[in-house]
Amino acid sequence: MPSTQEVFAALKAVRVDAVDKDVVAAGFVKDLVISGGAVSFELKVSLPKPPAPAEVEAWRAASEQAVKALPGVTSAHVKAQGASAKAPGARDVMPQVRHVVAVASGKGGVGKSTTAANVALALARKGLRVGLLDADIYGPSMPTMLGVNEKPVAVDDKRIRPVQAHGMSIMSIGFLVDPDTPMVWRGPMVHGALSQFLEQVDWGELDYVIVDMPPGTGDAQLTLTQRAPLSGAVIVSTPQQVSLIDARKGLKMFEQVRVPVLGLIENMSYLVADGVDGELDLFGRGSVARAAAELKVPFLGEVPLQPAVSASGDAGTPIVSADPECAAARAYMAVAEAIHAALDGAEEAKRGLGSMAWQA
């Protein structure tokens, strides 16, 4: 069992730059309880300038990890002001949106944006009111994938209206800058842009907003998990271990910020193509399903590697719209069905609505 002194010593590694102190010296650590190997306490943050929720969450997560690393600690639970996934102010963001769902990945190049676009379209084809937020500031994909190049229109001095296309409300930094302009922005500028997309876009009444998250687990992800009223997250991975390693990190990030993980998706699970007999296993099909079982989270399905998926995205009409009967489109529709069932299935069953019907 660790001592109080050992816990405080470990927490001295967690710095608060605003006051040039650690969380102990800053007086944040309160209500410390040590019971066997279980450690719990609260970070009561008090600063002249109120910190952003993302900063509070970073201190909370770092404190928890520092204590977990101590010998004899079996569990650590840290509460913090503003550390909830739906932090103070988050409930005032997108107030007319029923569900905000993050589509994330641990690394780039696994098909996250393609998945986000097709899942959003699949939900819209079911008759739901859907928005799509391209939150990848450094690499926005939605203008190309959806074939949209118009700019959003100002509603008033403080708000803009998202672009309407494919039966959805869409917002991307790519609508506001030249396609060849690199986004050479530091973290605070990215934070500001994402906050504006959440707070100053007139999303209106929607059933879902699908958020195409930036890859990784950095500042931008913390901003989104703390400012957006997320109902849950889905994580996209290819079957290779190098992808799964980072997918696990992404899952742990959502767990740390108290955002429910709705499940894992195995993208590029197998090859379906003209001239190929049946389904060809290229990358180790089934590894994501096994990881989901190990991590005790739902497995939302396999999406095949199909040449038409890339071609349709490059042409500005994602596969769910371009060829809804093909294998990949049916897989995306099944994923959308699973997400909707996880969030609204029980409610619809009570109302006797059952499974939603596809619209042609």
Angle between helices 307-314 and 112-125 (to 10 degrees): 80
Which CATH homologous superfamily contains domain 97-351?
A: P-loop containing nucleotide triphosphate hydrolases (3.40.50.300)
d(CA 19, CA 21): 5
Task: Quote the tokens at residue 210.
Answer: 């699908």
Q: Which fold has domain 4-81?
A: GMP Synthetase; Chain A, domain 3 (3.30.300)
> Are 4-81 and 97-351 the same fold in CATH?
no
d(CA 310, CA 303): 13
- What is the number of other CB atoms lying within 10 angstroms of the CB of residue 330? 18
Is the pLDDT at 281 greater than 90? The verdict is no
d(CA 279, CA 185): 43
Q: Where are the domains of the chain?
A: 4-81, 97-351
CB 43 within 8 A of CB 28: yes
- C-alpha Rg value of the chain to the nearest Å: 22
d(CA 4, CA 114): 49
Mean pLDDT value of segment 146-165: 91
At 239, the amino acid letter reads P
DSSP secondary structure string for all residues of 281-298: --S-TTHHHHHHHHHT--
Q: Is 296 exposed, middle or buried (0-12, 13-18, 19+ CB in 10 A)?
A: exposed
Q: Which residue has the higher pLDDT, 90 or 197?
A: 197
Q: In the prediction, which pLDDT does 266 show? A: 97
List, for residues 200-222, the tens digit of each pLDDT value: 999 999 999 999 998 887 788 88
List, for residues 38-62, the tens digit of each pLDDT value: 898 889 887 766 777 778 888 998 9
Question: Within 13 Å, how many C-alpha atoms sit on residue 353's CB side?
Answer: 13
Is the pLDDT at 190 greater than 50? The verdict is yes
Q: In the prediction, which pLDDT does 100 show? A: 92
Q: Is 334 left (phi over 0), alpha (psi -120 to 50) or beta?
A: alpha
> Within its chain, how far is the Cα of 90 from the centroid?
15
- DSSP character for 140? -
Of 4-13, 180-189, 279-288, 316-325, the poorest mean pLDDT is in 180-189
> Within its chain, how far is the Cα of 345 from the centroid?
21
At residue 360 the predicted structure's pLDDT band, cuts being 50, 70 and 90, is very low
- What is the number of other CB atoms lying within 10 angstroms of the CB of residue 309? 29
Angle between helices 187-199 and 219-227 (to 10 degrees): 30
Tell me whether strands 160-161 and 299-305 are parallel, antiparallel or unpaired. Answer: unpaired
Is the pLDDT at 351 greater than 50? The verdict is no
Q: Which residue is listed with tokens 């986000």? A: 116
CB 115 within 8 A of CB 122: no
Rounded to whole angstroms, what are the CA distances from 43 to 107, 124, 130? 31, 42, 37
DSSP secondary structure string for all residues of 242-274: HHHHHHHHHHHHHHHTT--EEEEEEEEEEE--T
